[in-house]
Structure 1
């Protein structure tokens, strides 16, 4: 039986570790829709200078009677917004400029719509990076709906352009007329969005008040879904310790607290010294994928698929007295790592304030956050009677342990969802298959690496387990297409959101429009809770009546522009929601936890 399984697993591993395209691209014959609209790239320069921005444009050419839609659809238009996805050399950046106004075009069922036909140029600003003499290739994928009076179909034309870098930028006279007629200002003259360093209406708090906010924020982190599973594991160890001497229980509590503080000090030091924003580690797809595999393995362990020794599972449920203290320390480290992206209410102001303080005071802020996170377990250790009042260990614990495993599986699902904001298309499928291979390795270990099995069987099982876990991690390692940037708008919660950029904010404010900005990230649980507010029908009507433009600043992946905007607002974590009122220079910053009432109140002041 083992030989048969071994052959099968060997075949699976060959498939898993075989070479595959890094970005899983395929060359497909252009479809009929692509023929109705073609795309090409034009540039205002023949050669660009490193660090100097220049304009580029996507040239869309429509066949007669066919049209596509603009970046944003009017409320009465049924269609699909046109979006662009850019791929640039490493270090280059792109920012979309205002597109031409749409105009009336014939649509289906004898009706008219708003869109583009004929030839249209969609401009963007490119900032190159590199040395003179280098060459960079720019490519763009257009995602549009192309329609004629009879029918509509999706179209995804692509275009590429090669740009050389020189000591001095050289304009292209042939493109002077094209770019001269664009309504957008030259790239070098784009106004930067002005965000105040401080918010005038923000209430002043003393340093002691911020320390209290830091402690309460850390305490609230214990009930966040990215932290609670870790507490669940530690609760299991506390249950098993019921009846032990008080000194040993206290040692566990102090070790856990010390682990939390060590990790908070280390991460706080990185935030202060590198200027990074809180939660930056979850902007790494590899880090998130590693956490997925980590929680999956321990979830399968708690579910009873396999058992491993206490010394290897410091965060597990089977801690023994000799190795339990080090396990509690490691659990504190783990709790902090998975807690940092959850900027709970009360914690956001404390973090934003901390990065503006001298190093010693800032570290004191991080210490208070850590103490808040560690306090529940520490209280149990300081008051052993609370531990002794817990039920005695028994057969019921196996069912309880297996039930707790679903908390970990829920965390895996949440982290996998976070990954979908970083990894797109087929690479995400490979990432999920990688986790399946890791789970297969756990099953092999639990099925054949048992004490009563022959030594040869156990050795083979361990080797196959290592191959599966290592091969699964390598096979599923997130493949992110560097330089890819997507723009456009999308509908979420019944509202149309446009992509945020400093230039977009400056453009809208110059047009005297009300602007609402949602700084958010997929890995921020509080951000996801806030989204429920936007589904309120009365709030949606208020937004429409006030003609508020909604911008989404997605910080799921690292974006230095968003980091700077948050810093200018005095913030270091998401969620952050701000409202710019026409005629007022400074924005109104809403509370971290949104409600229909506080958002409506802010909008009614327009």
Structure 2
């Protein structure tokens, strides 16, 4: 009967459809040039006219999805299309799964292994679809074509910038399986969704027809790391096979995809879930988690190089309560503003289509160069080479503390402390204003110890009094800052190869020479403003050159903490889970916490031996450079950054491990199946 409805709606416009342009314009776009045998993505980019819409792969109660007929050269293969997260649309009593704005369907294409470098591969497609308004439907079709340049070995080409936005619109895959059960007319689904992931007006879509009454209300209830959905099953439906589903999390189109298998699902209260926000107990818990995460960042190793600057400020304030309070407020403002700026930039870039997460700035060569210039200048200042810290004087009341706060926040961003993961993961899904509240809470947590010392006399009296020791201490603390500069140079090599390493080293030499020139001017009683401005210009020029000259594919491949580890991919993880237990961890060269865990807990002989005995497969996701696939997977686990450690028992779902690891935890996990077998 539904097809009769669709056909009746189509008849009114079918005759005139022959001699007019489509209401949904379509074009075929290749992502980039490809190597022989490589798989790249094609995009079928669709742009509906105003008031018109297209359909998802399962259109719902009416409509139909796309029909694709490929004309490919011998040896080329087109894969399964990936659709963006749809939106629900009720027309009368019919529920439709549609796209009311521009969208793109991505299709993987395997290039023939014998393709000749320098040639162009023609790709043609006959596509058909249904275009509808709320009153009329018109079947449409188009013949689309594009060419793919075959690159020479080692040749790189920039990707079409639209693909980042199109991939952002795809639902993030959740590797953990969901469950569904049918009892009478009730259909219940357990969706694996991390507790920190926020939802606002969610909707669950079924890729397979015949199981659900699409127009029936959907109720949602949280149960830990599961979201339980209750709705009405279609008459005659049975829980007999795995089903592919997509959960739309909010009106912006954020979604996750997963497979639900028949199983037990707890009952729900039946009331639809309210949109999640920071109001109420759950929101306050997220704010508290963000604050606690920021507080714990003070003891994380990634912030250690900045502790010397904090100590100098505190010691210099001595017993002057007014100065200590001014220093504390200025430092807090620096921290909070820096975290808000980083968080706001991340949200803006994600809204524009970029697939990024927390600490995204350290994946950019330009940011590394700027940080390197700043750390080199601070090292020179602490060593006594000059008495001027760019761009404000360290000894000035308030200004130095503010800049210290900025630097502390930037240095802390590579780490994700305990309690912080859920809050930052929720920030990616909340409305922008509420997300910024979480970032502000994180900044306040990071600044809290310094703020408390500034305003609590008892804590301030515990600080050592100013004296000659401060000069010696300051010179000693130049050592960890110099080591930080060396670490940034190493990261330049890891991220951008020898080009970025050489450029960064040359810039350090120039900055130190400028600092020496500032020292000479200060000895003659002259202002150091001119050298300061010169250093700023050098840093800006270096960052611009790094951004323009360093290839996204430059740099070194990630080193595996455990030999024989497998680089992360969805396919590799799915395959490994069928073979035995899996330890999956996500790391980055700029994440100090990650590297500490790898050295003290992961890359240990007892752990490696236990993994061998337990037949544990180790997968590694290296997030040093931007990787949209890793970003989407992190989001699906409710995480905004690294480190992230997941343990998959054989045949089971993921168990998220603590962000501060110890070897015995991994050994016990690896040997647990063997221990149970021996009982």
CA–CA distance in structure 1, aligned partners of residues 643 and 529 of structure 2: 49
Contact 1:252 1:381 in 2 (8 A): yes
Alignment partner, residue 341 of structure 2 = 266
Alignment partner, residue 182 of structure 2 = none
Alignment partner, residue 606 of structure 2 = 538
Following superposition of structure 1 onto structure 2, how do residues 549-564 of structure 1 map, counting pairs within 5 Å?
Answer: 549-564=617-632
Following superposition of structure 1 onto structure 2, how do residues 21-420 of structure 1 map, counting pairs within 5 Å?
Answer: 41=36, 45=73, 52-56=107-111, 136-141=149-154, 194-195=175-176, 197-198=192-193, 206-244=282-320, 246-275=321-350, 276-308=356-388, 312-314=391-393, 316=394, 318-319=395-396, 324-359=397-432, 361-384=434-457, 386-387=459-460, 390-420=463-493
State the SS of the aligned residue for 2:524: coil
Shift of 1:564: 0.5
Shift of 1:202: 5.9
Shift of 1:294: 0.3
Shift of 1:303: 0.4
Alignment partner, residue 424 of structure 1 = 497
CA–CA distance in structure 2, aligned partners of residues 240 and 410 of structure 1: 25
Which blocks of at least 5 consecutive residues in structure 1 are unaligned? Answer: 1-39, 61-85, 90-130, 142-159, 166-190
Give the one of 513, 525, 537 matched to 1:440.
513
Alignment partner, residue 566 of structure 1 = 634
Shift of 1:302: 1.4
Shift of 1:462: 8.0
Alignment partner, residue 482 of structure 1 = 552
Higher relative contact order structure (alpha carbons within 8 Å, sequence separation ≥ 6)? 1
Could you list the per-position Cα deviations for residues 500-540 of structure 1 after superposition, in whole angstroms to 9, with x for gaps in the alignment? 1122223334x544332111111111111211222333321
Contact 1:279 1:340 in 2 (8 A): yes
Give the one of 527, 533, 546 matched to 2:594.
527
Residues 602 and 224 (structure 1 numbering): CA distance in 2 closer, same or farther, change over 3 Å? Answer: same
Shift of 1:387: 3.5
Could you list the per-position Cα deviations for residues 78-103 of structure 1 after superposition, in whole angstroms to 9, with x for gaps in the alignment? xxxxxxxx9xx9xxxxxxxxxxxxxx
CA–CA distance in structure 1, aligned partners of residues 544 and 668 of structure 2: 51
Structure (1/2) with the larger helix percentage = 1
Contact 1:137 1:161 in 2 (8 A): no
Q: TM-score, normalising length from structure 2?
A: 0.57
Alignment partner, residue 37 of structure 1 = none
Which blocks of at least 5 consecutive residues in structure 2 are unaligned? Answer: 1-34, 39-71, 79-104, 121-143, 161-171, 178-191, 196-222, 227-280, 351-355, 674-679
Shift of 1:264: 2.6
Residues 249 and 494 (structure 1 numbering): CA distance in 2 closer, same or farther, change over 3 Å? Answer: closer
CA–CA distance in structure 2, aligned partners of residues 570 and 461 of structure 1: 46
Shift of 1:554: 0.5
- Pair 1:603 & 2:667 matched: no
Contact 1:285 1:419 in 2 (8 A): yes
CA–CA distance in structure 2, aligned partners of residues 459 and 260 of structure 1: 25
Shift of 1:545: 2.2
CA–CA distance in structure 1, aligned partners of residues 513 and 640 of structure 2: 40
Residues 336 and 472 (structure 1 numbering): CA distance in 2 closer, same or farther, change over 3 Å? Answer: closer
**Residue-pair matches, total:** 441
Residues 492 and 51 (structure 1 numbering): CA distance in 2 closer, same or farther, change over 3 Å? Answer: closer
